[in-house]
Amino acid sequence: MESLQAIKQRFGIIGNNHLLNIALQKAIRVAPTDISVLVTGESGVGKEIIPKIIHQLSHRKHNKYIAVNCGAIPEGTIDSELFGHEKGSFTGATHSRSGYFEVADGGTIFLDEVGELPLSTQVRLLRVLETGEFLKVGSSKVQKTDVRIVAATNVNMMKAIQKGEFREDLYYRLSTVEINLPPLRERQEDIHLLFRKFASDFALKYKMPTIKLDEGAVETLLSYPWKGNIRQLRNITEQISVIEQTRNITSDILKSYLPGYHNNLPAIVKEPSSSSDFSNEREILYKVLFDMRNDINDLKMLTQELIKEKEGVQPKKNTQLLINKIYGDQEEGSQTSDLEIISKGQQATFTNDPISSFEDAETVEDPISLQEKEYEMIKQSLERNNGKRKLAAKELGISERTLYRKIKQYDL
C-alpha cells in the first residue's frame, strides 16, 4: 500500500493538516473494498479527489470511472442518464440508450451533489445499492450491474431527511463509510502553501513571473474566512496573477481582491426583526399615552380647583402649584388666565356643579399631540446622552434602528 506522502504527490494534494490526513487515510483504507462511501464537506473543499483516490487504489482501477454531477442534470432526464432508456419510452427517445450504471459495469461511479437527486431517482438508486439491479426507463427487463458507488454532498443530510427531501434508508446505504473534508479556514497551515502552489502554476500558464506576498499580505491571507474554500483561493490567486503588474503583493492589494474583507474583526451581527421593531414602537407609544393620561388628570384637577376658587370655596390644593406642574416652563408667580389653562382660545361655561360643569364643557384641544410628545422624549434623551444614539435608544427602550428612523423623521 502506498504511503500517505506518496498519495499526496501522485494526486497533487497540498497540505499537512491533521484533519486532511485523517480523510486521506480513510480513503486509502476503504479503497480495496467495495463498500459505499459518502464524502461530505463544504463546497470548494476538493471532495472530487477522494473518489479518484478510491478508484485508483481499488481492484476496479482498470475499468470505467464516471463522475456525475447530479445537481446539473434536469429532473426529467436524470433517470435516463443514470439507468438508460428504451426506444420510444418518451418523446424524443428515437433509439435505445445505455445509462451510466450500465456503461460503468465493473468500475466506479462518483455521484457528486447526491443530495440534489429527486425522490423517485433515490428509490432507483437504493435498489442498485441493495441488489445491484436496475430497470431502464420504459423497460420491464431487470438488468444487473457491478458498480462501486462513491457519493459526495455539501448538504446537511440529517436536515434534508427531516424535511423529507432525502430518504433515510438511502443515506445509511451510501454512508457505510463517511469521509469529511475540512474547510480551508480550519487548515491554517496549508493556506499559504496552496497560494504559492497556485501562484507558481499560473506563472507557468501565463508565462509571467510568480507573484509573492509580503508579511502583511500573508497575515491577511490567513485571517480571511475563505467561505469558497480552495476554489475561491485558486480563483483569487489567478486574478492577482493576471491583473497586477507588480509581483510583490501587499496586504492592501490583497484586500482589494477579497470580498467582504473587514480587517478580520469577528462579529456576530443580529439584525433586529420587524416584529422586534413593532414591539419597541408599541412600548414607546404606551409610555407616551401614559404620560398624556397623567397630564389630562392634572388638567381635570386644575379645572376643579379653579371652579372652587370662583365659587369662593377654599381649594384643597394650591392652584399655582398645579399650574407649575403642568406648565413647568413658566416662571414662578407668572399669571395664567383660566381660559388659557383650560384651552387655547376656547370658551367654557361653568354651572353650580363643578363635576357636571367639566363634563358638559366643550371638548378641549389636547395640550400636546402624541407626535410632539414622542419628539420631545427623543430630543431630551439625545441631549442627556450627549447625542450618543446607542445610549439614547437604550434609555428609551427602543432599537437603534428605530431611533435612527425617528431622528430622520423629526430631522433631529
Nearest to 14 by CA among 192, 209, 240: 192
More confident residue, 410 or 143: 143
Task: Say what the pTM is.
Answer: 0.63
- How many domains is the chain built from? 4
Average pLDDT (216-233) is: 95
Q: Is residue 267 part of a domain?
A: no
105 and 229 belong to one structural domain: no
Check residue 318 and give its pLDDT.
59
49 and 93 belong to one structural domain: yes
Q: What nine digits make up the cell of 3?
A: 504511503
20 and 115 belong to one structural domain: yes
127 and 25 belong to one structural domain: yes
68 and 144 belong to one structural domain: yes
Average pLDDT (210-222) is: 95
84 and 120 belong to one structural domain: yes
227 and 173 belong to one structural domain: no
More confident residue, 359 or 99: 99
330 and 395 belong to one structural domain: no
Check residue 376 and give its pLDDT.
81
**Where does a domain end: 223, 255, 287?**
255
List, for residues 228-243, the tens digit of each pLDDT value.
999 999 999 999 999 9
The CATH number of the domain holding residue 240 is: 1.10.8.60
Q: Is residue 154 part of a domain?
A: yes
In terms of residue numbers, what domain contains 307? 274-360
List, for residues 157-197, the tens digit of each pLDDT value.
999 999 999 999 999 999 999 999 999 999 999 999 999 99
Q: Is residue 23 part of a domain?
A: yes
> Is residue 41 pLDDT above 80, yes or no?
yes
Q: Is residue 262 part of a domain?
A: no
- The fraction of the chain above a pLDDT of 90, given in percent, is 58
296 and 324 belong to one structural domain: yes
95 and 156 belong to one structural domain: yes
The CATH number of the domain holding residue 129 is: 3.40.50.300
245 and 117 belong to one structural domain: no
